[in-house]
């Protein structure tokens, strides 16, 4: 009881002080609450801005850095509203400027277009190494296979790339120095010209190319029987080996048949000395049917004379037949898409002729960009294959794995050995003038689109004349008229920016039937463009 009285007296005595302390506590609570409230509001308002800035910076970093081995195209604004487009992945390549007055202008690379192509080819190993690693989307995207991880190479792969396994073994007992014997210099290799190749060919062996060491590529008609010429557009399969094959066959008495789906762009000029016909997916079955009938007629002839092949008939033997088919794979592709039954029929026809035509003297040469739509039997029947530059998939298909590394034009592989062919196109009309016209009965039924407008000298073939082998690629003087006509249409190009090289390259490609991309003509187009401008300014 005394304690309660004492406590009550104490509270009564200090009531004023307690009221003041309570007010201070309430005021402090209000101030703290106000600060927290406004701080929270500021945080709620500022957080999206901060997050947005961070995400924007990360986005800009992602779009500007290398992804899957490639940098994005860069765009820069120039004076007067022009834009400069730069490809960081190939800095030797040409830049493109979009100008408000001149339009699209390509800035020619200082290294030149030819150097640019060479460097691009050298980038292939880099692309291969990049293809060995998972892409950025797999590694970084939410839900990817390996999010948050980085591509890695194991120790063995790193050693392989660094050449660790190519080091020579360490010599434990070094051999004493050997006496150096100077060897005599090897005899220089005789470089054959196109005239030499045609003269040295025989009726049973066509000389198709020459290696750096002088070794010759021979198409042996008895051993190989059929020929395949495979290569990407512009590599020389038609204007080189294709033309040479037809010329050699005509010169040695073959009855040459050309089935041309391009309407005579490349081979129409041979219509005077060979049986040239246009073909398509629907005509080829009838044309092969006519050849099958000729094959059966010759089989009956062999039976009558109790002979096993045409060469046992001596003077009674009909001439050998060389049938050249361009773009057979494209014909098969169209047939397989539109009429699979007809595609199987055509494949069966040509397969039987290529396999059994040896006894009757029927040979085939298939010119194609790839063999994807050739059957295995047809691919195997073309025992001699000249493989120009192709992509990796085709190289693996025909087991010529180094074909993608060949020069862009004029080189082929035969059984993994590299040979150089001859560019026949600039000399083909001069050579055709030395050949006789076709006077043998035609084996194919005529069609309305058959071409017969080619006229050449009617002199009989009596041996190949010597050709002027200089400038065999036909570049000098070949485009003079085209360049003059282009500048006549575009006189403003004589001054101002160097605009028009791409257009000239496109016209050059069109003049040759667009058999290869116009980019391949940019080098010579640039040289002739600047030479013409320089000459006019002097």
Whether residue 275 has pLDDT greater than 90: yes
Angle formed by the axes of helices 501-511 and 522-537, nearest 10°: 120
Same-domain check for residues 300 and 382: yes
| Average predicted confidence (pLDDT) for the chain | 79
Same-domain check for residues 423 and 354: yes
With a pLDDT cut of 90, the percent of the chain lying above it is 27
pLDDT tens per residue across span 95-108: 777 777 777 777 76
Nearby residues of 375 by Cβ (< 8 Å), 6 or more positions away: 347, 351
Where residue 477 falls among pLDDT bands split at 50, 70, 90?
low
Q: Round to whole Å and give the CA distance between 454 and 434.
A: 14
pLDDT tens per residue across span 312-335: 887 778 899 999 999 999 999 988
Q: In the structure encoding, which two tokens stand for residue 524, read together?
A: 């010579």
- Which of 401, 432, 463 is the last residue in one of the domains? 432
Closest CA to 483 of 494, 495, 471, 474: 494
Q: Round to whole Å and give the CA distance between 434 and 432.
A: 5
Q: Is 39 inside a domain boundary?
A: no
Instruction: Look at residue 364 in the predicted model and tell me its pLDDT.
Output: 96
Looking from the CA of 79 toward its CB, the CA atoms found within 13 Å total 0
Q: Round to whole Å and give the CA distance between 525 and 479.
A: 9
Q: Pick the residue with more confidence: 218 or 12?
A: 218
Nearby residues of 296 by Cβ (< 8 Å), 6 or more positions away: none
Closest CA to 506 of 536, 488, 482, 489: 482
Give the domain range for residue 88: 74-131
Instruction: Look at residue 2 in the predicted model and tell me its pLDDT.
Output: 57
Instruction: Look at residue 287 in the predicted model and tell me its pLDDT.
Output: 92
- What is the arrangement of strands in the sheet containing 74-77, beginning at the earlier edge strand? 74-77, 83-86, 95-99, 103-107
Same-domain check for residues 259 and 342: yes
Whether residue 307 has pLDDT greater than 80: yes
Which ranges in 236-282 belong to alpha helices (H)? Answer: 243-251
Same-domain check for residues 124 and 255: no
Whether residue 154 has pLDDT greater than 70: no
Cα–Cα distances in angstroms (integers) from residue 448 to residues 68, 277, 335, 504, 511, in the given order: 54, 10, 22, 35, 26
Q: Pick the residue with more confidence: 449 or 464?
A: 464
Same-domain check for residues 122 and 222: no
Closest CA to 411 of 115, 219, 117, 212: 212
Closest CA to 527 of 498, 507, 491, 506: 498
Same-domain check for residues 286 and 397: yes
Where residue 538 falls among pLDDT bands split at 50, 70, 90?
very low
Q: Pick the residue with more confidence: 48 or 474?
A: 48
pLDDT tens per residue across span 221-231: 989 999 999 99
Only one residue has tokens 């039954």, namely 341
Q: Which of 64-73, 251-260, 374-383, 506-515 has the lowest mean pLDDT?
A: 64-73
- Which of 397, 432, 467 is the last residue in one of the domains? 432
- Which of 88, 104, 131 is the last residue in one of the domains? 131
pLDDT tens per residue across span 46-58: 888 888 888 888 7
With a pLDDT cut of 70, the percent of the chain lying above it is 71
pLDDT tens per residue across span 157-203: 665 555 555 566 665 566 666 666 665 666 787 888 888 899 999 98
CATH code at 296?
3.40.50.300
Same-domain check for residues 243 and 360: yes
Q: Pick the residue with more confidence: 370 or 111?
A: 370
Mean pLDDT computed over 392-401: 91
Nearby residues of 207 by Cβ (< 8 Å), 6 or more positions away: 192, 197, 198, 200, 201, 216, 217, 218
Mean pLDDT computed over 128-144: 57
Per the confidence metrics, is the pTM higher than 0.75? no
Q: Pick the residue with more confidence: 538 or 70?
A: 70
Closest CA to 287 of 323, 246, 329, 255: 323
Q: Round to whole Å and give the CA distance between 243 and 425.
A: 7
Instruction: Look at residue 381 in the predicted model and tell me its pLDDT.
Output: 92
Domain count, the chain: 3
Where residue 462 falls among pLDDT bands split at 50, 70, 90?
very low
Q: Is 452 inside a domain boundary?
A: no
Buried b (16+ CB within 10 A) or exposed e, 467-496: beeeebeeeeebbeebbeebbeeeeebeee
Instruction: Look at residue 534 in the predicted model and tell me its pLDDT.
Output: 73
234 in Cβ contact with 516 (< 8 Å):
yes
Same-domain check for residues 395 and 490: no
Q: Is 341 inside a domain boundary?
A: yes
Q: In the structure encoding, which two tokens stand for residue 367, read together?
A: 């010119």
Q: Is 489 inside a domain boundary?
A: yes
Same-domain check for residues 396 and 521: no
Instruction: Look at residue 183 in the predicted model and tell me its pLDDT.
Output: 59
Same-domain check for residues 426 and 322: yes
Q: Round to whole Å and give the CA distance between 199 and 206.
A: 10
Same-domain check for residues 309 and 402: yes
Q: Is 446 inside a domain boundary?
A: no
262 in Cβ contact with 325 (< 8 Å):
no
Q: How many contiguous H segments (helices) and E segments (strands) does the chain have?
A: 17, 14
Same-domain check for residues 248 and 397: yes
Q: In the structure encoding, which two tokens stand for residue 158, read together?
A: 């790193």
The widest CA-to-CA distance across the chain, in whole angstroms, is: 155
Q: Pick the residue with more confidence: 44 or 401?
A: 401
Q: Is 263 inside a domain boundary?
A: yes
Q: How do strand 411-414 and strand 417-420 relate by DSSP bridges?
A: antiparallel
Q: Is 306 inside a domain boundary?
A: yes
Mapped to the 3 state alphabet, what secondary structure does 318-346 carry? CCCEEEEEECHHHHHHHHHHHCHHHHHHH
Q: Is 114 inside a domain boundary?
A: yes
Tell me the range of 9-13, 44-48, 233-237 where mean pLDDT is highest.
Answer: 233-237
């Amino acid at each position: 009881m005394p304690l309660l009285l004492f406590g009550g007296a104490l509270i009564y005595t200090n009531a004023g002080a307690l009221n003041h302390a309570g007010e201070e506590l309430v005021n402090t609570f209000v101030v703290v609450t106000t600060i927290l409230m406004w701080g929270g509001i500021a945080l709620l308002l500022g957080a999206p801005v901060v997050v947005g800035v961070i995400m924007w910076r990360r986005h800009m970093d992602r779009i500007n850095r290398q992804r899957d081995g490639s940098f994005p195209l860069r765009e820069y604004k120039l004076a007067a509203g022009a834009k400069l487009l730069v490809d960081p992945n190939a800095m030797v390549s040409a830049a493109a400027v979009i100008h408000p007055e001149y339009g699209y202008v390509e800035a020619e690379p200082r290294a030149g277009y030819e150097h640019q192509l060479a460097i691009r080819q050298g980038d292939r190993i880099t692309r291969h190494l990049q293809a060995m690693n998972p892409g950025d989307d797999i590694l970084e995207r939410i839900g990817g296979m390996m999010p948050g991880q980085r591509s890695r190479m194991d120790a063995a792969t790193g050693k392989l790339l660094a050449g660790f396994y190519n080091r020579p073994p360490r010599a434990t007992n070094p051999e004493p120095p050997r006496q150096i014997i100077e060897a005599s210099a090897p005899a220089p290799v005789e470089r054959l010209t196109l005239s030499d190749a045609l003269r040295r060919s025989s009726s049973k062996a066509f000389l198709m190319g020459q290696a750096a060491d002088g070794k010759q590529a021979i198409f042996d008609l008895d051993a190989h029987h059929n020929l395949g010429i495979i290569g990407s557009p512009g590599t020389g399969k038609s204007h080189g080996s294709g033309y040479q094959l037809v010329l050699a066959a005509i010169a040695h008495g073959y009855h040459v048949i050309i089935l041309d789906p391009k309407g005579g762009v490349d081979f129409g000029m041979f219509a005077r000395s060979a049986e040239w016909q246009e073909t398509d997916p629907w005509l080829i079955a009838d044309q092969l049917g006519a050849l099958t009938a000729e094959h059966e007629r010759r089989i009956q002839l062999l039976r009558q004379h109790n002979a096993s092949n045409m060469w046992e008939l001596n003077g009674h033997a009909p001439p050998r037949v060389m049938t050249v088919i361009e773009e057979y794979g494209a014909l098969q592709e169209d047939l397989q898409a539109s009429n699979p039954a007809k595609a199987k029929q055509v494949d069966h026809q040509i397969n039987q002729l290529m396999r059994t035509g040896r006894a009757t003297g029927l040979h085939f040469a298939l010119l194609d960009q790839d063999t994807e739509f050739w059957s295995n039997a047809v691919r195997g029947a073309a025992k001699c294959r000249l493989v120009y530059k192709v992509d990796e998939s085709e190289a693996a298909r025909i087991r010529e794995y180094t074909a993608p590394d060949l020069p862009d034009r004029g080189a082929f592989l035969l059984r993994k050995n590299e040979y150089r062919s001859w560019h026949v196109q600039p000399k083909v009309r001069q050579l055709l003038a030395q050949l006789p016209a076709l006077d043998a009965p035609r084996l194919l039924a005529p069609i309305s689109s058959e071409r017969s407008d080619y006229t050449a000298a009617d002199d009989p073939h009596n041996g190949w004349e010597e050709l002027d082998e200089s400038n065999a690629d036909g570049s000098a003087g070949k485009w003079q008229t085209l360049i003059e006509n282009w500048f006549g249409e575009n006189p403003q190009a004589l001054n101002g920016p160097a605009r028009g090289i791409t257009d000239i390259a496109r016209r050059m490609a069109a003049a040759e039937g667009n058999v290869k991309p116009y980019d391949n003509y940019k080098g010579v187009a640039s040289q002739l463009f600047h030479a013409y401008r320089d000459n006019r300014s002097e």
